[in-house]
């Protein structure tokens, strides 16, 4: 049994197929990773940082081959993939900074106090790595959310081992990326088996079920993510499953903004909607706007271009779901863009519906159409939005466009959007997720399985760590992060006071 890559531009096979991983091979890969974890988790953070940076350098050095391979399997284009690979290597380097700064372990010390009730012993708390992490690659980001992406980078940084389940849409890219990562880890002195990869749907299930897998990171569809989440929770020993799933990313345009800059807003919306042929997790699929903005939006989408979807299944799903939407009696199709004639190509499509109809059919009309499809919900009174927005399903982002005269109203809209969204954008568009300390890429179900955590940014490392408190241990037996003299010089909270002490 094999996993075969395909060229989305033609629908034809591309590259050499990869053999699916058997149960015994999954066991060998996970067992090797679990053994390597024992060594890797004890490596000082600064040394782990140097290893991650060596992996980043190796990926950059092989960028031409990696980008060409990914373009053949995804049709995402060389410019987009060049940027994405650089984002991927920058993620690895960011976690080098996180490790050297040190606050990610949340070192906390309470001095003993026998005179309070109850008496307090010497307590020292720190976050420690969980073990072997299973990482599921995303279809739409063959680098940044795949083999060497953010889940892998943050898990390795935390001190965990990683086993990746390759996505079937880009097996050749996965194989080449894994080759570079494995060689770079070895050359940098990381333990053998620290990083592994498996192929095939069945291998992914076996990976989650393996008793030495301790956590899972996933980026993909709501249906697939929910099925794997249930497997992780159905184990005799349930394990954390951090899934980034579906998101409609509502955007609200307030009346004064719509009147002041209709063409600008429409052009920027269409660009964000169709970016990556709508195959971003943050494309704005739902836009609330005055009816006066619809003509400009329709013209902008009509002038836009579609392209090849990542695989045949996604292409078929987009075509069938948008065709069904157009054939129904709830919405009106405003316009559509063009598309290439060959392969798994689709056209952008824009629909509109009045707010009252949308509210009465909210569950149906908030279904995600993965691809370049948008629904404009028209309203007359912005106050009516405040009752509808909190009923939206959980989403990664919420956006508000407002003129200065509307700041008070924008604040009220943001207050209701924050109940359903993990990131609030003002006078911008949600596509483009910065790799930074303050980024939160998460949200309530179904956008993620756990709204407390992010899959992008420095704090994504927190998913692979769990707290341990050391009570009354002698200083020389404590982890370096908790010793009296703070030999690593990291930020710590001592007796309630945060500082480098």
The predicted-structure confidence for 238-259, as pLDDT tens digits, reads as follows: 999 999 998 999 999 999 999 9
Average confidence score pLDDT of the chain? 97
Whole-prediction pTM: 0.96
Task: Report residue 304 as tokens.
Answer: 């836009």
The pLDDT value given to residue 102: 98
Give me the residue spans of the domains in the chain.
2-245+451-465, 250-426
Segment 380-430, tens digit of pLDDT: 999 999 999 999 999 999 999 999 999 999 999 999 999 999 999 999 999
Above pLDDT 70, what percent of the chain?
A: 100
Whether the per-residue pLDDT at 358 is higher than 90: the answer is yes
Distance between CA atoms of residues 268 and 297, nearest Å:
10
Sorting pLDDT into bands at 50, 70 and 90, what band is 150?
Answer: very high
Q: How many CB atoms lie within 10 A of CB 303?
A: 14
Look up tokens 């939407």; give the residue: 325
The pLDDT value given to residue 464: 98
Distance between CA atoms of residues 354 and 352, nearest Å:
7
Average pLDDT over residues 453-481: 98
Active-site positions?
Answer: 244, 281
Buried b (16+ CB within 10 A) or exposed e, 390-402: eebbbbbbbbbbb
Element (H, E) at 215: strand 213-219
Average pLDDT over residues 22-41: 98
Sorting pLDDT into bands at 50, 70 and 90, what band is 342?
Answer: confident
Whether the per-residue pLDDT at 181 is higher than 90: the answer is yes
Sorting pLDDT into bands at 50, 70 and 90, what band is 148?
Answer: very high
CATH topology of domain 250-426: Aldehyde Dehydrogenase; Chain A, domain 2 (3.40.309)
Task: Report residue 172 as tokens.
Answer: 């050749």
Residue 222: strand, helix, or coil? helix
Q: Quick one: residue 277, left, alpha or beta (phi over 0 = left, psi -120 to 50 = alpha)?
A: left
CA dihedral sign, ordered 198, 202, 204, 206: negative
Residue 79, C-beta contacts closer than 8 angstroms, at least 6 positions apart? none
The pLDDT value given to residue 341: 85
Sorting pLDDT into bands at 50, 70 and 90, what band is 25?
Answer: very high
Per CATH, the homologous superfamily of domain 2-245+451-465 is Aldehyde Dehydrogenase; Chain A, domain 1 (3.40.605.10)
The pLDDT value given to residue 71: 98
């Amino acid at each position: 049994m094999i996993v075969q890559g395909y060229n989305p531009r033609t629908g034809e096979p591309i590259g050499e197929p990869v053999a699916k991983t058997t149960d015994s091979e999954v066991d060998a890969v996970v067992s090797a990773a679990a053994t390597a974890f024992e060594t890797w988790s004890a490596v000082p953070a600064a040394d782990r940082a140097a290893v991650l940076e060596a992996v980043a350098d190796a990926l950059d050095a092989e960028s031409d081959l990696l980008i060409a391979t990914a373009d053949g399997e995804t049709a995402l284009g060389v410019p987009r993939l060049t940027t994405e690979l650089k984002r991927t290597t920058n993620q690895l380097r960011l976690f080098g900074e996180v490790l050297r700064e040190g606050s990610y372990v949340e070192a906390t010390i309470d001095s003993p106090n026998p005179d309070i009730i109850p008496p307090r012993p010497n307590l020292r708390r720190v976050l420690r790595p969980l073990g072997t992490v299973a990482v599921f690659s995303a279809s739409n980001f063959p680098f940044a959310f795949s083999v060497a992406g953010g889940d892998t980078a943050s898990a390795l940084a935390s001190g965990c081992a990683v086993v990746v389940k390759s996505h079937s849409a880009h097996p050749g890219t996965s194989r080449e990326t894994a080759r570079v990562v494995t060689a770079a880890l070895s050359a940098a002195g990381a333990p053998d088996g620290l990083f592994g990869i498996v192929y095939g749907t069945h291998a992914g299930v076996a990976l989650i079920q393996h008793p030495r897998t301790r956590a899972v990171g996933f980026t993909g569809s709501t249906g697939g993510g929910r099925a794997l989440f249930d497997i992780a929770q159905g184990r005799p020993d349930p394990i954390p499953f951090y899934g980034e799933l579906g998101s409609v990313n509502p955007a609200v345009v307030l009346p004064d903004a719509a009147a002041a800059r209709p063409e600008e807003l429409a052009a920027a919306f269409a660009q964000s909607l169709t970016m990556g042929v709508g195959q971003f997790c943050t494309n704005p699929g739902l836009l609330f706007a005055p009816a006066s903005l619809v003509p400009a939006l329709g013209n902008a989408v009509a002038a836009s271009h579609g392209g090849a979807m990542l695989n045949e299944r996604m292409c078929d799903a987009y075509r069938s779901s948008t065709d069904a939407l157009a054939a129904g009696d709830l919405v009106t199709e405003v316009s559509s863009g063009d598309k290439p004639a060959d392969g798994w190509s689709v056209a952008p499509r824009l629909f509109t519906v009045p707010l009252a109809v949308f509210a009465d059919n909210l569950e149906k009309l908030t279904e995600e159409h993965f691809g370049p499809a948008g629904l404009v919900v028209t309203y007359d009174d912005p106050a009516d939005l405040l009752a509808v927005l909190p009923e939206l399903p959980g989403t990664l982002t919420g956006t508000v466009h407002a003129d200065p005269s509307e700041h008070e109203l924008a604040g009220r809209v943001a207050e209701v959007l924050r109940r359903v969204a993990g990131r609030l954008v003002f006078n911008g568009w949600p596509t483009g997720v910065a790799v930074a300390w303050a980024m939160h890429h998460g949200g309530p179900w179904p956008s993620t399985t756990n709204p407390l955590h992010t899959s992008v940014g420095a704090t994504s490392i927190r998913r692979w760590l769990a707290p341990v408190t050391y009570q009354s241990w002698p200083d020389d037996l404590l982890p370096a992060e908790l010793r009296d003299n703070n030999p690593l010089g990291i930020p710590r909270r001592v007796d309630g006071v945060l500082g480098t002490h």
